[in-house]
């Protein structure tokens, strides 16, 4: 997918999942989840190119601007939506699938103890657009 197509997809996701999204200008200027996602694209590309220091610097700047910390090594699928993202931390070992929504205060990834292996969370998109089940029903919960 090209960069502009990915940006359009990310903006479309904001309009799909955030009832407060009023117009394109507002979303582009004031949506910290979108800003964090786009800055992660830059940091992740630099990380994959094995550029020293700069990916972490971009990630640090993103956290300062948005309150959302995403390690440059984290693998994020398309359709990721971070709403009310203050305090969200996504670690280096995290792999997130497609069409996932994350809300404030979520931490994914990390280590448990010095001699323990890394925790490696995989977050999968639970519901396809064609599914008639709610995400809660799909996961086995009842409302």
CB 83 within 8 A of CB 69: no
The token duo for 30 is 């004031």
For residue range 90-120, list pLDDT tens digits in order: 999 898 989 999 998 888 886 554 444 444 5
Report pLDDT for 44: 97
For residue range 39-90, list pLDDT tens digits in order: 999 999 999 999 999 999 999 999 999 999 999 999 999 999 999 989 999 9
Residue 123 or residue 21, greater confidence: 21
Paired residues of 136 in beta bridges: none
Residue 87 or residue 136, greater confidence: 87
């Amino acid at each position: 997918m090209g960069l502009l197509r990915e940006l359009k997809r990310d903006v479309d996701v904001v309009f799909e999942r955030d009832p407060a999204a009023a117009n394109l200008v507002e979303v582009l200027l004031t949506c910290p989840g979108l800003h964090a996602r786009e800055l992660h694209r830059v940091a992740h590309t630099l990380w994959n190119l094995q550029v020293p220091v700069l990916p972490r610097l971009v990630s640090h700047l993103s956290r300062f601007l948005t309150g959302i910390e995403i390690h440059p090594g984290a693998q994020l699928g398309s359709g990721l939506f971070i709403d009310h993202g203050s305090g969200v931390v996504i670690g280096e070992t995290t792999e997130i699938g497609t069409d996932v929504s994350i809300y404030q205060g979520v931490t994914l990834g990390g280590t448990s103890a010095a001699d323990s292996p890394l925790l490696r969370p995989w977050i999968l998109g639970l519901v396809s657009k064609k599914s008639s089940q709610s995400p809660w029903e799909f996961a086995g919960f009842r409302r």
